[in-house]
């Protein structure tokens, strides 16, 4: 059986300048080839840099990438892996204060919360709507999204890279 391939994006939302070459090395090691990022200034955080890197590789590469770059102080990132016909997609979010969060994603990029996680949230909530909302916010990674959102908006002026051309 052939190996299924996936694709995705590594978003380095903020990294200290000194960390940039180490991140390129770690990502390159995870995908098995040397990479060079197009680094730009991160206007939200003085002295920080940002980059986006589109990757493709065997299913599971997203997890390998997230693992390879997590653990450094002052690093904010997202890794996505698009779903394939034979595998779920995924999204890994990391901030210095919150650590790492993983969520399964569907074909549209929406977070999918599994039955067991919903049942756990309901059990923990024990009938409290406020507690249920808190548990679902954790499952959705709301705190990570909240912290990363200003860094995402900073990339709104970034150049557009067309991955596919139709017609």
Sorting pLDDT into bands at 50, 70 and 90, what band is 2?
low
Burial class (CB in 10 A: 0-12, 13-18, 19+), 160: exposed
> Is the pLDDT score of 160 beyond 50?
no
Q: Which residue has the tokens 């074909």?
A: 107
Residue-level pLDDT at 9: 96
Query: How far apart are alpha carbons 126 and 108 in whole angstroms?
Result: 32
3-class secondary-structure state, position 131: helix
What are the b/e assignments for 113-126, b being 16+ CB within 10 Å? Answer: eeeebeeebeeebe
Give the domain ranges of the chain.
3-152
**pLDDT tens-place string over residues 68-80:** 999 888 999 999 9
């Amino acid at each position: 059986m052939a190996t299924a391939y996936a694709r995705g994006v590594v978003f380095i939302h903020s990294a200290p300048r000194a960390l940039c070459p180490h991140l390129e090395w770690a990502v390159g090691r995870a995908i098995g080839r040397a990479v060079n990022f197009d680094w730009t200034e991160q206007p939200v955080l003085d002295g920080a840099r940002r980059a986006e890197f589109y990757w493709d590789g065997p299913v599971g590469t997203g997890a390998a990438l997230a693992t390879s770059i997590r653990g450094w102080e002052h690093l904010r990132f997202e890794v996505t892996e698009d779903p394939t016909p034979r595998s779920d997609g995924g999204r890994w979010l990391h901030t210095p204060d919150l650590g790492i969060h993983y969520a399964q994603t569907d074909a549209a990029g929406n977070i999918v919360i599994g039955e067991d996680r919903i049942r756990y949230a309901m059990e923990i909530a024990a009938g409290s709507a406020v507690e249920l909302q808190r548990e679902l916010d954790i499952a959705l990674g709301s705190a990570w999204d909240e912290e990363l959102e200003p860094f995402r908006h900073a990339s709104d002026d970034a150049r557009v890279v067309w991955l596919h051309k139709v017609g």
